[in-house]
């Protein structure tokens, strides 16, 4: 699903984003990216959605080498990658339903079936009652659920979550994690960058630990720290 080959990314003048990272993530895996701030987690994610391009090495997603991907095709790549962020990134002037719907409209899909799809997705994340609320009328956890619904409404083969629980209390975080877990169960690959030690330890999934732009640990069923 995801393959990094000797990927190096330097931010000018000389800040190391990633250094010679090689990594392979299989289809259907659930992977935690852990490490302190500045360790390269965000760089990793931004390379995946081609917000950045590597200075050296190759990134491929779903068998596609991103370095050969033409710029006008980038939007089509992103439709196959659901993204969830710490700050939710919801459109403030759209209701929960419209926010989810937006991901479908963007693909030129605004039919009644897709409206049904968006509604179903909101029910799935437990927000059927709040479809007409605007983001500022929702709690943090609820906003994150909307954002997950939007990320998953196209049923992308890959879902990326960058600190999705970073702004949430432990109980709400657990709900979000369960959602991601269920999404993973449908066969979607999930890559999640996190600081949430407790969550990682509890889930016991593959853990990739980054530090100073390098992979210092890649463990099949790891915890946040080394055991």
Partner 1 sequence: MGKISFFFKEAFGSLRRNYFMTIAALVTVFLSIVVLGLVLVFVFTTNELLGDVEKKVQINVFFKTDPDPTPDQMTALETEIGSWTDQVESVTFISKEEGLEEMRETYKDRPEIFENLTRNPLPNKLVVALVDPLLVDAVADLIRQQDPELKVLDEVNFGEDTAEKLFTITGQMRNVMVGFIALLGIVAILLISNTIRLSIFARKREVEIMKLVGATNWFIRWPFVIEGVTVGLVGAAAAAATVLVVNSYSVGKLRDLMPFLEIPLGAVPSTLVILVLLGVGVFIGALGSAIGLRRLLKV
How many residues bind to partner 1 according to rule CB under 8 A?
A: 21
Per-residue contact track with partner 1, 84 to 103, x per CB under 8 A?
-----xxx-x--------xx
Q: Which is nearer to partner 1, 154 or 173 (CB)?
A: 154
Interacting span for partner 1 (CB under 8 A) from 4-12, 77-85, 136-144, 175-183? 77-85
Give the rounded distance of the alpha carbon of 95 from its chain centre: 22
Q: Does 150 bind partner 1 (CB under 8 A)?
A: yes
Q: Does 155 bind partner 1 (CB under 8 A)?
A: no
Q: In whole angstroms, how close is the CB of 223 to partner 1 at the nearest point?
A: 31
Q: Does 11 bind partner 1 (CB under 8 A)?
A: no
Q: In whole angstroms, how close is the CB of 49 to partner 1 at the nearest point?
A: 7
Q: Does 124 bind partner 1 (CB under 8 A)?
A: no
Q: What is the largest CA-CA distance in the chain?
A: 51
Q: Does 107 bind partner 1 (CB under 8 A)?
A: yes
Taking CB under 8 A as the criterion, the residue among 36, 75, 170, 187 binding partner 1 is 75
Taking CB under 8 A as the criterion, the residue among 10, 16, 69, 77 binding partner 1 is 77
Q: Which is nearer to partner 1, 51 or 198 (CB)?
A: 51
- Cα distance between residue 151 and residue 56, in whole Å: 29
Q: Does 106 bind partner 1 (CB under 8 A)?
A: yes
SS (H, E, C) the chain: CEEEEEEEEEECCCEEEEEEEEEEECCCCEEEEECCCCCCHHHHHHHHCCCCCCCEEEEEECCEEHHHCCHHHHHHHHHCEEEEECCCCCCCCCCHHHHHHHHHHCCCCCCHHHHHHHHHHHHHCCCHHHCCCCHHHCCHHHHHHHHHHHHHCCCCCEEEEECCCCCCCHHHHHHHHHHHHHHHHCCCEEEEEECCHHHHHHHCCEEEEEECCEEEEEECCCCCCCC
Taking CB under 8 A as the criterion, the residue among 12, 68, 72, 220 binding partner 1 is 72
What residue ranges bind partner 1 (CB under 8 A)? 49, 51, 72, 75-79, 83, 89-91, 93, 102-103, 105-108, 110, 150
């Amino acid at each position: 699903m995801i393959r990094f080959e000797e990927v190096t990314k330097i931010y000018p003048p000389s800040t190391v984003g990633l250094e010679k990272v090689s990594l392979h993530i299989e289809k259907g895996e659930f992977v935690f990216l852990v490490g302190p701030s500045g360790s390269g987690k965000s760089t990793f994610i931004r390379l995946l959605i081609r917000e950045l391009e590597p200075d050296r090495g190759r990134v491929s997603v779903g068998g596609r080498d991103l370095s050969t991907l033409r710029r006008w095709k980038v939007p089509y790549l992103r439709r196959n990658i659901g993204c969830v962020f710490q700050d939710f990134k919801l459109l403030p002037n759209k209701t929960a339903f419209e926010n989810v719907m937006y991901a479908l409209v963007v693909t030129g899909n605004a039919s009644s079936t897709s409206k049904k799809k968006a509604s179903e997705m909101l029910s799935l994340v437990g927000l059927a009652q709040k479809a007409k609320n605007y983001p500022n009328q929702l709690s943090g956890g609820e906003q994150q659920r909307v954002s997950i619904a939007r990320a998953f409404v196209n049923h992308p083969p890959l879902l990326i979550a960058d600190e999705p629980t970073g702004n949430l209390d432990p109980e709400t975080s657990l709900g979000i994690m369960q959602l991601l877990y269920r999404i993973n169960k449908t066969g979607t690959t999930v890559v999640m960058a996190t600081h949430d030690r407790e969550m990682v330890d509890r889930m016991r999934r593959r853990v990739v630990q980054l530090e100073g732009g390098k992979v210092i640990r890649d463990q099949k069923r790891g915890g946040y720290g080394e055991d």
